[in-house]
Chain A
Amino acid sequence: MSDKKQFMFLNRRAPYGTIYAWESLEVVLIAAAFEQAVSLAFIDDGVFQLVTGQDTTGIGMKNFSPTYKTLGDYEVRHIYVDKDSLEARGLTQDDLQVVPWEDWETEETVDNIVEVVDSDKLAELLEASDVVFSF
């Protein structure tokens, strides 16, 4: 049995109003550094974390949204976004960041690992994970 576990980070909060989004990102980067298989899911208000064009100059907080597009470099291979949550908020994939990924050894590339998925698929992914971290 492999000692590499499937980690799923479940993000359900909007950025800035609470610290959850930023804290999740910090833990994701740590987990990835320990060479675990890390996936992220954005559900409910969590989908707002990936919205492009965030500009925090007026609120005196760090804009941490550019970090998401570097996640592919930290070997995060899957980012899932809940379709129902997007639709309830009037958003589409076009409103979200693009996160590229490349395998350094095989040179396999994926233009965008952000994938919009339905409830059935999400339920399947959550159950298939070894550990789910909730934020």
Chain B
Amino acid sequence: MSDLHTVNKSPFEKPSLDTCLRLSKPGSSILLYEDGVYAAITGTTATDKVASALADKKVYVLEPDFKARGLKAERLIEGVEMVDYAGFVDLVDACGKVQAWL
């Protein structure tokens, strides 16, 4: 069963997302939350990294954190799935283990 990788740091401030993408296996799930949600929008220097990862990984973003930061749903990268807290729990339940990239 594939793991759930979580990223809660801004992709512009720390290499957490880069390392997560580099060291997660194809088939993994990646959940962006807290400042990690900035990686889920189009038109940034991080957009291409996430868009490429979608080729063989699932990417999710936590909606309450996305909305708190004033990000617009129309700027969500196509293929990234929005989840709420219950969806976060479902992911933890469905995946093998949780690997946090702080």
A residues adjacent to B (C-beta < 8 A): 13-18, 44-45, 48, 51-59, 61, 63, 65, 88-90
Which segment, of B17-25, B53-61, B63-71, B91-99, faces chain A?
A: B63-71
**In this complex, which of B8, B12, B64, B70 has the most chain A Cβ atoms within 10 angstroms of its Cβ?**
B70
**In contact, A54 and B70 (Cβ under 8 angstroms):** yes
Would you call A17 and B75 a contact (CB within 8 A)?
no
List chain B residues, Cβ under 8 A from A48.
Answer: 38, 69-70
Q: Among A44, A58, A89, which residue has its beta carbon within 8 angstroms of that of B44?
A: A89
Q: How many A-B residue pairs have CB under 8 A?
A: 71
Binding site for A on B (CB under 8 A): 8-10, 12-13, 34-35, 38, 41-45, 47, 63-65, 67-72, 75, 84
Q: A14 with B64: in contact, given A51-B70, A53-B72, A88-B45 (CB under 8 Å)?
A: no
A17-B10, A44-B12, A88-B12 are known contacts. Are A65 and B70 too (CB-CB below 8 A)? yes
Contacts of A56 in B (CB 8 A): 67-68
Contact status B34-A58, CB under 8 Å: no
